[in-house]
Amino acid sequence: MPITNAEIAEILREYADLLEIKGANEFRIRAYRTAARNIDNLTRSVAQMVSTGEDLSTLPGIGQDLATKAAEIVRSGRLPELEQLKKEIPSDLIGISRLAGLGPKRTGALHRELGITRIDQLEEAVQQQKVRLLPGFGARTEQRVAEDLSRERDTPVGSKRYRLSVMEEIAQPLIEYLSAIDGVRQVTIAGSYRRKKETVKDLDILVTHHAKCDVMQWFVEYEDVEDIVSQGDTRSAVRLRYGVQVDLRAVPQNSYGAALHYFTGSKAHNIAVRRRGVQHGLKINEYGVFHNGKRIAGETEEEVYATVHLDYVEPELRENTGEIEAAGRGTLPGIVKPDDIRGDLHTHTKATDGRATLREMADAARQRGYEYLAITEHSRHVTVAGGLDASAVEQQIAEIDQLNEQLDDLVLLKGIEVDILEDGTLDLPDEILKKLDLVVCAVHYKLDLPAEKQTERIIRGISNSYPTILAHPTGRIIGRRRASSLDMERLMRAAKQTDTILELNAQPDRLDLTEVHARMAKEMGVMVAISTDAHSGEELNFMRLGVFQARRGWIEPGDVLNTKNHKGVKDWLSRKRK
Ligand code: DGT
Ligand code: CA
Ligand code: CA
């Protein structure tokens, strides 16, 4: 299986991070990040380009040096310079860079200025209040580092988790490979992957097969296997490239449901189901459900749930946060599905930092069968993205009007992603906002204000009568930047009062709202929009990740603005302006 673009990008990104920790030239660091992003968003396979001898330096943002490195990654699956840097840089520093959104740059400063190479040295420096004195830190950052350090004691620093989207790219070809083996019947990934958690530690795969099929041997011979951790008749474990661990278990057909239930987890859900079993005089384990030593169920998950008088629980809900009680009462939510989505309400084009034209975005949306697509460029304050000023917005409005005339199966909504400035005012005047169909608002700088100030800033922003959707409310980037401190309950009350919709941003490293916030929105009666924030036609595919996250938050189709048809959306959006 050739290396995927996402995997190449991940290696380049890691390299850029390590360079930054080391304090390398910032242009060089940026070059790697840009290349990673471009490769990530490419529609063609870099591996394929290499195999057909194409010149990678023709790709946008890839110079000769990077082309050589990318080709090396394709050929060998690794970047020797990265391996070398990993040896040079103390391994704790990489873990430290993930604390409290410190990032590689500030980690480099800790290393150079305070000589920190290990966690315990950082703990000491925090205690002595030395960290706050470094440029770019301050007392609040130091406080957050202290909090994260105490939290991290439960999960060791550096215990790597992979974003779901990255895991999917690694898992899908393996599943195809296993499914194609003669004699294999079912192949399913259980664990946190099946529950669609935003990050996944390892893959837990179950197979059923006919008697004469040596699936374990085939498994360890998969071409991306780097190490065989263990190999047995019914269970094997391997490590793939990039260190991803995969456990494979072969189970008898009549235990398949019980095993799937057991290995899907979560552990807390399993324990609660098992306890319910005990109350009914049943023993539940990965082999089946037993009454007085006799098997009474196990072939399907539905069967397992039925023995303890529970409705079937979707994997995304299995966290023991009330789903068992609801399944017992028959009140589980009918959670939203990817097919329920009728459009996307947050996207960019080449007019700012997107990579596709208006026309290309419209075509991509039509291909998905969407009814509507909102174009929501950045406003002027976001200078790095070439944010639009009032006259540029006017120009885009005219372009969209023109294109809408030609389209008969899709409506383009004229929108903006306007910045909420530090004082809570908006980055564009009302006169221009009122000309748009949809105003999305967002915070893009000063994400680290104290909770009260940040909350007030955003509430002031959404209290304006034009913005109807608040984008990526907490600003977190998974594994890189922690969420802004916010009084979410207060914010949601204000959203409810002002008829403002909260976005669940579906970018794989944002997924912001979290599932906890999504569920909170539902409980407080706040409408949610699941949006991709796409910067290319391809990225409209992120919608499914947003839907998964919404499902984990118990969100039903009626809670989601973009399950409505065009008229329904328009009606909702007009509430605020009245
Ligand atoms: P991860 O891998 O950290 O992203 O999360 P999971 O949920 O995939 O955890 P993992 O891989 O350690 O275990 C897979 C499933 O196996 C887990 O969701 C439930 C089940 N399991 C593992 N250990 C136990 C246990 O001690 N008791 C019970 N009841 N189930 C367990
Ligand atoms: Ca797992
Ligand atoms: Ca596991």
The answer to whether 347 touches 532, Cβ cutoff 8 Å, is yes
3-class SS string, 76-124: HCCCHHHHHHHHHCCHHHHHHHCHHHCHHHHHHHHHHHHCCCCHHHHHH
Supply the pLDDT for residue 546: 98
Q: Does 406 fall in a domain?
A: yes
- pLDDT, tens digit, for every residue of 84-108? 998 888 878 888 887 777 889 999 9
Residues 241 and 290 in one domain: no
pLDDT at 151: 63
**Residue 155 has what pLDDT?**
46
Instruction: Tell me the pairing of strands 235-240 and 245-250.
Output: antiparallel
247 alpha carbon – ligand 2 mean position (Å): 9
User: Is 398 a pocket residue for ligand 1 (Cβ < 6 Å)?
Assistant: no
Model pLDDT for residues 210-258, shown as the tens digit of each residue: 988 899 999 999 999 999 999 999 999 999 977 899 999 999 999 999 9
> Dmax over Cα atoms in the chain, in whole Å?
77
Looking at ligand 1, which residue's alpha carbon is closest to its atom 17? 265
Give the Cα separation of 481 and 447 in Å (integer).
Answer: 10
Residue 311 neighbours by CB under 8 Å, 6+ apart: 305, 327, 330, 332
What is the CATH classification number for the domain harbouring 76?
A: 1.10.150.110
**Cβ of 260 below 6 Å from ligand 1:** no
- Residue listed under structure tokens 């103390």: 90
- Tell me how far apart the alpha carbons of residues 530 and 346 are, in angstroms, rounded to a whole number: 9
Looking at the fold, whether 148 and 167 belong to one and the same domain comes out as no
CATH number, residue 486: 3.20.20.140
b/e per residue 482-516 (b: at least 16 CB within 10 A): bbbbbbbeebbebbeebbbbbbbbbbbbbbbbbbe
**Contact 204 CB / ligand 1 (< 6 Å):** yes
Give nearest CA residue, ligand 1 atom 16: 263
Residues 393-406 have a mean pLDDT of 97
- What angle is formed at CA 135 by the lines to CA 85 and CA 89, rounded to 5 degrees? 10
Mapped onto helix, strand or coil, the DSSP state of residue 188 is: strand
Yes or no: say if 527 and 502 are a contact pair by the CB < 8 Å rule.
Answer: yes
| Banded pLDDT at 493 (limits 50, 70, 90) | very high
What are 247-301's pLDDT values in tens digits? Answer: 999 999 999 999 999 999 999 999 999 999 999 999 999 999 999 999 999 999 9
State the pLDDT at residue 99.
Answer: 78
Residue 105 sits in the same domain as residue 130? yes
Residue 156's pLDDT band (cuts 50, 70, 90): very low
Ligand 1 atom closest to the Cα of residue 197 is 4
Distance, CA of 578 to CA of 131 (rounded, Å)? 51
**Domain shared by 182 and 227, yes or no:** yes
Point out the domain boundary residue: 306, 329, 352: 329
The DSSP annotation for 517-554 comes to HHHHHHHTT--EEEE--BSSSGGGGGHHHHHHHHHHTT
What's the number of domains the chain is made of? 4
Ligand nearest to the CA of 262: 1
Neighbouring CB atoms inside 10 A of 331's CB total 10
Start-end of H helices in 291-372? 301-307, 323-329, 358-367
Considering the domain architecture, whether residues 411 and 486 belong to the same structural domain is answered as yes
Domain that residue 130 falls in: 5-152
CA distance 535 to 367: 16
Tell me, using a 6 A CB cutoff, whether residue 549 lines ligand 1: no
Residues within 5 Å of ion ligand 3 by Cβ? 202, 204
The pLDDT, as a whole number, for residue 149 is 80
Q: Is 315 in the pocket of ligand 1 (CB under 6 A)?
A: no
The answer, yes or no, to whether any atom of ligand 1 lies below 6 A from the CB of 191, is: yes
Quick one: pLDDT at residue 383? 83
Mutate-to-test residue for ligand 1 from 192, 197, 245, highest number of ligand atoms within 8 A of CB = 192
- pLDDT of 1: 72
159 pLDDT above the threshold of 70: no
How does DSSP assign 376-399, residue by residue? Answer: EEEBTT-GGGT-B-HHHHHHHHHH
3-class DSSP state of 229: strand
pLDDT for 141 equals 87
Q: Using N-to-C axis directions, what is the helix angle for 488-497 and 515-523, rounded to 10°? A: 40
Q: How far apart are CA 230 and CA 228, in angstroms?
A: 6
- Which CATH number fits the domain that encloses residue 190? 3.30.460.10
What CATH number does residue 314 fall under? 3.30.210.10
Residue 152's pLDDT band (cuts 50, 70, 90)? low
pLDDT for the residue 522 = 97
